[in-house]
Amino acid sequence: MTLPRSALISLETTPYYHCISRCVRRAFLMGRDNNGNSFDHRKTWLVERIKFLGNTFAISIAAYAVMSNHYHLVLHADEALTQNWTDDEVQRRWRKLFRGPDMLQRRLNGESLSPQENQQLDQLTSTWRERLCSISWFMYCLNYEIALRANKEEGLTGRFWDGRFKSIALKDEAALLACMAYVDLNPIRAGLADKIADSDYTSIQERIRHAASGLSNSPADLMAFSDSVQRKNGRQVLPFQHHDYLELVDWHSRIKQPCKPGLADAKQPRLLAQLGLSDRQWSLLASEAQKEISSMLHSLKKIASHKRVPKPPTWLESVL
């Protein structure tokens, strides 16, 4: 039975969520279809829209991967951040997304409003403040815009996305880490790239290129790591260091490709040791992330408590 979104997303439980949307009938509406038509440019639309919304909502982008018929996001919703915004800030941010009532534009222009209008606008602002840290509203603003542009481009109407987006709660650091690696390695898993640096339309490629340019450890539009700051621009940062995360993803990509040079000599990433995870435990956790059969990604403790652990995929057997 389909559960209401309120039962799947609770910021009191965890602020981190893995969200997935698929094109209708899983058609390659963001890649190359069976007739040879290329829609790769829509991947750029999606990445640009993701970043715009990340800078408008109180929601940070931890990881993303845009494929030909679906996309993945790892999002962090910061409810406390919206509470630090003034009413004027909330209204300006909402105005970037929707036209809003005429009295909103009048207030933003510095015009005087009647007491009744002020009261009504204050109530609306309270609602907008809640929506600006809502995963559901973020995904609505993302999917609706892309569907609208794609239909307009082809002169069509109807659905572009296959139903509601799927959301998976990431309950602890181990689950967050496994899910980010799963998302960043999507092109490699699909056989579209051999190296993480060549994984187009992914956050890992953007982070690598940004670091190679000698700039700070994270692009401005992506959630920062905890190398040197506790918060970035008032926002929370990821509980890992930049280098440690890249090391783990590269190591994991070598597991995905057992013949890749350097696998035999590769040491366990430091980040796994910090989290107290063995190779086997990480493999089970990565397998759980890959299956995505539950509305909630199980924590390591839940996996360890299972009397019968699931058999990992073939490509993970070499590390067990």
- In tens, the pLDDT along 107-125 reads 889 899 999 999 999 999 9
Which residues constitute the domain of residue 120? 86-131
Instruction: State the CB neighbour count (10 A cutoff) for residue 79.
Output: 16
Which is it for strands 59-66 and 166-170: parallel, antiparallel or unpaired? Answer: unpaired
246 to 50, 162, 180, 249: CA distances (angstroms): 22, 33, 11, 5
* pLDDT tens, position by position, 23-64: 998 889 899 877 778 899 999 999 999 999 999 999 999 999
156 to 41, 116, 153, 193: CA distances (angstroms): 18, 43, 8, 32
- Report the pLDDT value the prediction gives residue 230, as an integer from 0 to 100: 66
Q: Are 51 and 73 in contact (CB under 8 A)?
A: no
- Report the pLDDT value the prediction gives residue 30, as an integer from 0 to 100: 93
Within this chain, do residues 127 and 140 fall inside the same structural domain, yes or no?
no
pTM for the model? 0.84
Closest listed residue to residue 173, CA positions, set 82, 256, 91, 248: 248
Q: What is the mean pLDDT of the chain?
A: 82
CA–CA distance, 43 with 163 (Å, rounded to integer): 19
Within this chain, do residues 114 and 260 fall inside the same structural domain, yes or no?
no
**Close Cβ partners of 313 (under 8 Å, ≥ 6 residues apart):** 287, 290
Mean pLDDT of 94-99: 94
Give the length of the chain: 320
Within this chain, do residues 155 and 17 fall inside the same structural domain, yes or no?
yes
CATH of the domain at 199: 3.30.70.1290
Mean pLDDT of 185-211: 89
250: part of which helix (H) or strand (E)? helix 242-256
Within this chain, do residues 236 and 178 fall inside the same structural domain, yes or no?
yes
